[in-house]
Amino acid sequence: MRDLGIFTNENKIVQSKYDKFKQINRFVEILNDAFKNFNKKEITILDFGCGKSYLTFAVYYYFAKIKNIKPKIIGYDIKEDVVNFCNTLSNKYGYENLKFLVNDITQDNLFSEKVDMLITLHACDIATDFALKYGIKNYVPYIFSVPCCQHEINNQIKCGGDFDLLLKYGLIKERFSALLTDSIRAEILKDFGYKVDVLEFVDFAHSPKNIMLRCKLNQKKSPTKNVLINDIMEKYNFKQTLYNELYK
Ligand SMILES: C[S@@+](CC[C@H](N)C(=O)[O-])C[C@H]1O[C@@H](n2cnc3c(N)ncnc32)[C@H](O)[C@@H]1O
């Protein structure tokens, strides 16, 4: 945490990083709940849009040092400089199974072995949809996703019915579009056999992007259409990436 700039040399939290620190702690607390009874000796985790990887390092530490479960973690990011930085740090601490790769997560060339858990923390806009698509298509048992900015629906949605009032004012339209996006994502995950909880991840004061989709695969399913989502998309004239990618 010191090397990542979250802690000072005196192990105090850097003031400007306090919100990030809160987010990481809360994320790990939620994992701690979910993995209370996990009895495997190893766990494979992918972090999509890992950025500077505060969370990725914390999750590695949590499983390796606290749970005594051997983690294998790959963090994906499109930015080469942060990936290099994170690999250097991982080598420095001898975290041999914590690797970072430069990769566009919208592409179909990601990890092809069995994955136990997928995490995302504020992966930009539709990057979250591609992460969820990977999770669903690869039957990843656990998905914990905190979406970020959601421009996709906001940029397209047109008046079309009962919700028109919510589209009149920019700020409300933006928030409504974000909630609609996450509702659609949750519904799709449910459709494909996940039990989905939508949680307030941290208090609004620590991040306005504070919804987590906590998902556990119960039963593999392959739906071809979701009438509820389809009707809303047609009525309000927008497309949604996760839906377009999965229902063909
Ligand atoms: C807001 S940052 C969050 C970083 C980190 N997860 C955190 O919470 O501190 C979003 C990250 O997603 C990465 N990203 C966005 N689109 C991506 C894509 N298509 N493929 C890979 N990484 C992507 C960005 O480069 C950025 O580092």
Is there a domain that residue 227 lies in? yes
Q: What is the 3-state secondary structure (H, E, C) of the chain?
A: CCCCCCECCCCCECHHHHHHHHHHHHHHHHHHHHCCCCCCCEEEEEEECCCCCHHHHHHHHHHHHHCCCEEEEEEEECCHHHHHHHHHHHHHCCCCCEEEEECCCCCCCCCCCCCCEEEEECCCCCHHHHHHHHHHHCCCCEEEEECCCCHHHHHHCCCCCCCHHHHCCHHHHHHHHHHHHHHHHHHHHHHCCEEEEEEECCCHHHCCCCEEEEEEECCCCCCCCCHHHHHHHHHHCCCCHHHHHHCC
Can you give the pLDDT of all 248 residues of the chain as single tens digits? 999 999 999 999 999 999 999 999 999 999 999 999 999 999 999 999 999 999 999 999 999 999 999 999 999 999 999 999 999 999 999 999 999 999 999 998 899 999 999 999 999 999 999 999 999 999 999 999 999 988 999 999 999 999 999 999 999 999 999 999 999 999 999 999 999 999 999 888 888 889 999 999 999 999 999 999 999 999 999 999 999 999 97
β-partners of residue 57 are none
Q: Select from 45, 52, 104, 105 the residue to mutate for testing ligand 1; criterion: most ligand atoms less than 8 Å from CB.
A: 105
pLDDT of residue 219: 96
| Ligand 1 atom nearest to 79, measured from its CA | 25
Distance 86 CA to ligand 1 centre (A): 13
Pocket (CB within 6 angstroms of ligand 1): 49-52, 54-55, 76-79, 104-106, 121-124, 127, 148
Is there a domain that residue 43 lies in? yes
pLDDT of residue 208: 86
pLDDT of residue 104: 96
Is there a domain that residue 143 lies in? yes
Is there a domain that residue 7 lies in? no
**Using CA atoms, how far apart are residues 7 and 74, in angstroms rounded to an integer?**
24
**Using CA atoms, how far apart are residues 206 and 26, in angstroms rounded to an integer?**
11
pLDDT of residue 61: 97
Overall number of domains in the chain = 1
- Find the CATH number of the domain harbouring 221: 3.40.50.150
Note whether 229 and 184 are within 8 A (CB).
yes
User: Buried (b) or exposed (e) across 71-87, using 16+ Cβ within 10 A?
Assistant: bbbbbbbeeeebbebbb
Is there a domain that residue 69 lies in? yes
Is there a domain that residue 213 lies in? yes
β-partners of residue 7 are 13
Is there a domain that residue 238 lies in? yes
Q: Which of 173, 149, 175, 189 is nearest to 236 (CA)?
A: 173
pLDDT of residue 177: 96
β-partners of residue 143 are 118, 215
Q: Which of 126, 133, 125 is nearest to 46 (CA)?
A: 133
Q: Select from 78, 101, 149 the residue to mutate for testing ligand 1; criterion: most ligand atoms less than 8 Å from CB.
A: 78
Is there a domain that residue 119 lies in? yes
The whole domain housing 242 covers 15-246
| Ligand 1 atom nearest to 130, measured from its CA | 19
pLDDT of residue 108: 87
Length of the chain in terms of residues written: 248
pLDDT of residue 48: 98
CA atoms in the 13 A half-sphere facing the CB of 228? 10
